Chain A
Amino acid sequence: MLKRKSIVILFVLVALLLSACSKATKTDVTTPVKQAANEKTDVPASETPAPPDAARKVLTIGIVNAPVTLNQINTQGSSASLAPINLLNDALLDVTDEAEFIPKLAESIETQDKQTYRIKLKEIAKWNDGTPFTTADVAFTLKLALHPKVDTSFQLNFIEGLNDSGKLDEGVADISGLTIIDATTFEIKTKTPIDPLVFNERFGVKVNFLPQHILKDVNPEQVATHDYFQKPTVTIGPYKFANYVQGQYVEVTKNENYYLDVPKIDSIFIKVLPAANLVAQLQTGEIQMNSLPVGLVPITDYDKVTGFDNVNVTSAPASEPAELFFNIEKLSDKKVRQAIAHALNRPQIVEKLLKGQAEIIDGGIPSKHPYFNATIKNYDYDPEKSKQLLKEANWDTNQKLTFLIPVGNKVREQAADILVQNLEAVGLKIDVQKFDFPTLIDKVEKGEHHITIFTRDYYIEPSLYFTTYKGDKPDSVIRYNNPLVDELIQKGEQEIDEAKRHDIYNQLQEVLHEDVPTLAVYSEKRLQVVSKDVLVGKPLNLGTFNNVNQWDIVAK
């Protein structure tokens, strides 16, 4: 009897436990979902009571890295975060995929001496709550973002009154290089004359603004954790914040108060999914387009996606290349580096692995970039020459080269595997090590590598491509030091005459080509896979959302 009783008790307990579990989980799950649903209906209901049965236009864009932040003054270098941030925020300027600037909040940006820049704002510009956007917001944003205790991704150290790291010094409240003229006009004075390209990219495109009327009382030391940045409901852009589930999706809805043409698509979802599912969901129609550069459809899937009948597939112009970075401390003889360059069968990678959807260049500047030096002749695939160069350099063939490869980009990993075979074919011994990115960077900073591979960002302003080669960085990826290169880099940064700049950067690219501290492997023509339901709009290498208010999709 006793046993029986205890068994009954046991069952009751188990049942209770299970039911408690399931009840707890049920409430846990439905509450956030319900809240989300409430928010969704609350937001439009309070402003525009759209008829409930009206067909809504919804676009879902696939991205493979999760946006980590919606903070428009601190994007943390996260390319994935730029997609929602650019939908929510307009800057003074935007860019086209041809790297040309188009005005957004700015009516005009003018300079006579390339040192004083006068910016006129559009008078119609207003925040999505209807409050006019004025120079007071500009001043507020700059003062807050450049406060010494505030973490920001703005890189404005060229502005007068800021220190070398582009911040205000402790105790200084005003930016001497900023002059407010009236409600829609202000001036920025730079420390020295600079190429308008630098100003347009770093100030015009990359500075987003904060609403003073919402954030005026914020304590600078607690900006980062302020609620506003978790739910930035008041912004100035074609879309406004609706919902953000970290690691899942960001939902934005059209800003009915937009100061330019009101967008045609009602809601845009930026949906996070693993690379493996991206192609699958394009096929099922769960997402309607991929995104660049963080929602790449692997070029290895080119044949597959062109076979889907519900999408259009196009190729973007060749983008920023995957590059090899040599540790010059360990590979100090340039003949060895040239030998490596000749050993690589890059045409095979492009033809076989990348199905011809890529081009070969040697330098880091993409071929479409205005400052690309087209006269440089690539190192061709010549294993014999490679062996000969190694002999001339008296290379010890027993020495093992450590090749660090970051995991994540499958195509790049496969390309690296081919490179390793090429290098072994000319008699080099390679120790391949694959790591996640933070681990790889740790090893690179300790100088444990001979060679590593990754892809740099796209920059409009050419000087940004060359910072890597400066000699003053003893723990950089390449540990390179060449006085001539340093001199040319400095000249290029200071030169404001466009023609002269071209000369300097052409020469610089030639010197670097001869010296091979880095070598591009392939420059991918990224696939743009867009559902046939999408009438206007496609992902671009640069400035994808510059006309998002004109985008359109078939209503469902």
Chain B
Amino acid sequence: MGAYLVRRLLIAIPVFWGITVLSFLMMNLAPGNPVDMLINPNIPPEMRELRKELLGLNDPIYVQYIKWLGELLKGELGYSFSTYAPVTQLIAERIGPTLLLASSSLAVGLLIAIPLGIVSAVKQNSKLDYLMTGLSFLGTSIPPFFLGLGLIYIVGIELKWLPTGGMTTLGGDGGIGDVAIHLILPVLVLGITIAGKKVRYVRASMLDVLKQDYLRTARAKGLTEWSVTNRHALRNALIPIIAVIGAEIPLLLGGSIIIEQVFQWPGLGQLTMEAILSRDYPTLMGINLVAACVVLLTNLIIDVLYATADPRIEFN
């Protein structure tokens, strides 16, 4: 397994490098640049030129890329074009809230999806099953931003139960309780979206397992139905779910862009939007880098977990 890990990590290096080249190219091909967007006839062209020179935008793209790569090898990601703060600091500030939001949503999503999926599979084709499947379709098909705005309106404005956005109360103590209150609505929205998708996976996977011979054996041994379903069937049914969850994690980082906008959550998603709109190249590259790391790492972890869980899969 050690050799397998080393090999996977070595393969990741060229993939990683490829991602940086592609994203650097695509970013520079996008129309507009951070200086010309400040179109103001009263700023003399010389000043704009000076700014481009100071930001290094007049160098050919490959020179800009090599400079960036040089910084990266030193462990630096450069400075933001708009705030002049170090990109590493910007990302460090934002990644915590995003991870908090993503992991809580994933946990909530699974806590909803797994029981619903099991019930739905065990009571296949019953009214309950139709209800669950219907709800899961609803959860998948409601656009998260719409659900978010709806909840803000009902819970935040009409009922005034929860704050409408942000991560802490301005001027408040910013303690864990305060963060938790602000977390409820965005987590609910993301959790429902995740659960909507996952219920069907759990249900399908459960149905597959429930038809297996060993469960009949288990029942024949006189085990209770509860024990058969939750101890014998569920464990095997969850194995394919791991892969699906793995694929969800990078999506969660990206998918929360909209939710972070709607709820003013100070995470990477919000930073990404700001960086795109202001064509803040160094920040964008930094975020791409983090995203690439997350995807490569989660894929690796999922493969390892998968092989550990299912002895039929071998490392080679």
Contact = CB atoms under 8 A, between A and B. Distances in A.
Contact of B82 (A69, A155, A164, A444): A69
A283 B153 CA distance: 11
Given A166-B44, A245-B266, A441 B36 contact: yes
Contacts of B93: 32, 245-246
Contacts of B279: 438
Nearest to B99: A25
Contacts of A155: 42-44
B100 A247 contact: no
Interface string A275-295: 011001101101000000000
A157 interface: yes
A417 interface: no
A473 B41 contact: yes
Interface stretch (B112-120, B127-135, B308-316): B308-316
Interface in B159-175: 160, 163-168, 170-171, 173-175
Interface in A302-329: none
Nearest to B55: A151
Contact of A6 (B34, B156, B277, B310): B310
Given A77-B40, A157-B44, A274-B264, A280 B152 contact: yes
Interface centre among A6, A29, A56, A272 (most CB of B within 10 A): A29
Q: How large is the interface on A (under 10, 10 to 19, 20 to 34, 35 or more residues)?
A: 35 or more
Nearest to A274: B261
A395 interface: no
B103 A25 contact: yes
Contacts of B30: 439
B96 A32 contact: yes
Nearest to A283: B157
A14 B246 CA distance: 11
B44 A164 contact: yes
Interface string A211-232: 0000000000000110001100
B83 A69 contact: yes
A29 B179 contact: yes
A359 interface: no
Given A71-B84, A281-B164, A77 B38 contact: yes
A468 interface: yes
Interface stretch (A15-23, A494-502, A545-553): A15-23
A442 B38 CA distance: 11
A124 to B, nearest CB: 31
B59 interface: no
A554 B15 CA distance: 59
A248 B34 CA distance: 21
A464 B42 contact: yes
Interface in A152-180: 155, 157, 164-167
Given A280-B153, A441-B32, A246 B309 contact: no
B46 interface: yes
Given A77-B40, A157-B44, A437 B277 contact: yes
Nearest to B301: A17
B95 interface: yes
B186 to A, nearest CB: 13
Interface string A61-101: 00000101101000011100000000000000000000000
A425 interface: no
Nearest to A152: B47
Interface string B114-153: 0000000000000000000000000000000000010011
Contacts of B262: 274
B85 A29 contact: no
A58 B172 CA distance: 11
A510 to B, nearest CB: 21
Contact of A21 (B37, B103, B163, B235): B103
Given A71-B84, A225-B79, A272 B264 contact: yes
A467 B40 CA distance: 9
Interface string B174-193: 11100100000000000000
Contacts of B311: 2-3, 6
A476 B168 CA distance: 45
Contact of B164 (A9, A78, A284): A284
B174 A37 contact: yes
Nearest to A437: B37
Given A248-B266, A274-B262, A476-B41, 13 more contacts: A9-B309, A22-B107, A33-B174, A76-B82, A164-B46, A230-B84, A247-B266, A248-B167, A286-B164, A439-B32, A440-B32, A442-B31, A442-B33
18 contacts: A2-B311, A10-B309, A13-B308, A17-B301, A28-B100, A30-B179, A58-B170, A149-B54, A151-B50, A165-B47, A248-B167, A248-B264, A274-B262, A277-B165, A442-B33, A442-B36, A459-B42, A468-B41
